[in-house]
Structure 1
Amino acid sequence: MSNVLRYAMTGALAVVGFIAAQSSHASVVIGGTRVVYPSQEKEVTVKLTNQGTKPALVQVWLDNGDEKSTPDTAKVPFTITPPISRIDPTKGLAIRVLYTKEPLPTDKETLFWLNMLEVPPKPADSEGRNLLQFAFRTRIKVFFRPAGLQGDIATAPEKLSWKLVPADKGWALQVNNPTPYFISFAHVGIKTGDKIVGDEGGGMVAPGGNTTFPLKDVGSPASDAQAAFDVISDFGAISSMTHAVTR
Structure 2
Amino acid sequence: MSTLSIRHTLAALCAMVVALSAQASVVISSTRIIYPQPHKEVTVRLESRNQVPVLIQTWLDNGDEHSTPELADIPFVVTPPIFRMEPGKQQVVRVAYTGEGLPPAQESLFWFNVLEVPAQARGVQPSNQLQLAFRTRIKLILRPPGLPHGAEAAPAKLQWRRVSSAYGEAVEVFNPTPYLVTFERVEVQVAGQRHGRQAAASGAGNMVMPGARTRFDLPDLKAPPGATASVEFQTLDDFGVKVLHNAKVAP
TM-score w.r.t. structure 1 length? 0.89
Q: Of 199, 205, 210, which aligns to 1:207?
A: 210
Q: Of 229, 237, 240, which aligns to 2:241?
A: 237
**Structure 2 residue aligned with 1:4:** 6
Q: Deviations over 1:169-210 (max 9, x none)?
A: 321110000000000001112123554222334600010111
Q: Provide the rounded CA distance (Å) in 2 between the counterparts of 1:57 and 1:237.
A: 31
Q: Of 94, 101, 117, which aligns to 1:103?
A: 101
- The answer to whether the 8 Å contact 1:190/1:198 transfers is yes
- The answer to whether the 8 Å contact 1:186/1:201 transfers is no
Q: Deviations over 1:66-99 (max 9, x none)?
A: 2222111111111011111111111111100011
Change (3 A) 1:131 1:11: farther
Structure 1 residue runs of 5 or longer lacking an equivalent are 17-23
Q: Of 37, 46, 49, which aligns to 1:48?
A: 46
- The answer to whether the 8 Å contact 2:11/2:69 transfers is no
Q: Deviations over 1:122-156 (max 9, x none)?
A: 11241375221111111111110000012210011
- The answer to whether the 8 Å contact 1:78/1:97 transfers is yes
Identity %: 43
Structure 1 range deviating more: 220-229 or 182-191: 220-229
Aligned residue for 2:232, secondary structure, equals strand
1:246 equivalent in alignment to 2:250: yes
**Structure 2 residue aligned with 1:162:** 160
Structure 1 residue 14, shift from structure 2 partner: 8.4
Structure 1 range deviating more: 164-173 or 141-150: 164-173
**Structure 2 residue aligned with 1:227:** 231
Change (3 A) 1:164 1:135: same
Q: Of 80, 84, 87, which aligns to 2:85?
A: 87
1:74 equivalent in alignment to 2:63: no
Change (3 A) 1:6 1:196: farther
Q: Provide the rounded CA distance (Å) in 2 between the counterparts of 1:195 and 1:236.
A: 28
Q: Provide the rounded CA distance (Å) in 1 between the counterparts of 2:10 and 2:229.
A: 49
Change (3 A) 1:194 1:87: farther
Aligned residue for 1:148, secondary structure, equals coil
Q: Provide the rounded CA distance (Å) in 1 between the counterparts of 2:196 and 2:136.
A: 29
In the alignment, residue 182 of structure 2 is paired with which amino acid?
S
- The answer to whether the 8 Å contact 2:14/2:115 transfers is no
CA RMSD of aligned residues (A): 2.3
**Structure 2 residue aligned with 1:124:** 122
Q: Provide the rounded CA distance (Å) in 2 between the counterparts of 1:196 and 1:4.
A: 51
1:190 equivalent in alignment to 2:188: yes
Structure 2 residue runs of 5 or longer lacking an equivalent are 201-205
Structure 1 residue 25, shift from structure 2 partner: 2.2
Q: How many residues align?
A: 240
Structure 1 range deviating more: 140-149 or 197-206: 197-206
Q: Provide the rounded CA distance (Å) in 1 between the counterparts of 2:16 and 2:36.
A: 40
Q: Deviations over 1:91-115 (max 9, x none)?
A: 1111000111223211001111111
TM-score w.r.t. structure 2 length? 0.88
Q: Provide the rounded CA distance (Å) in 2 between the counterparts of 1:67 and 1:5.
A: 19
Structure 1 range deviating more: 185-194 or 204-213: 185-194
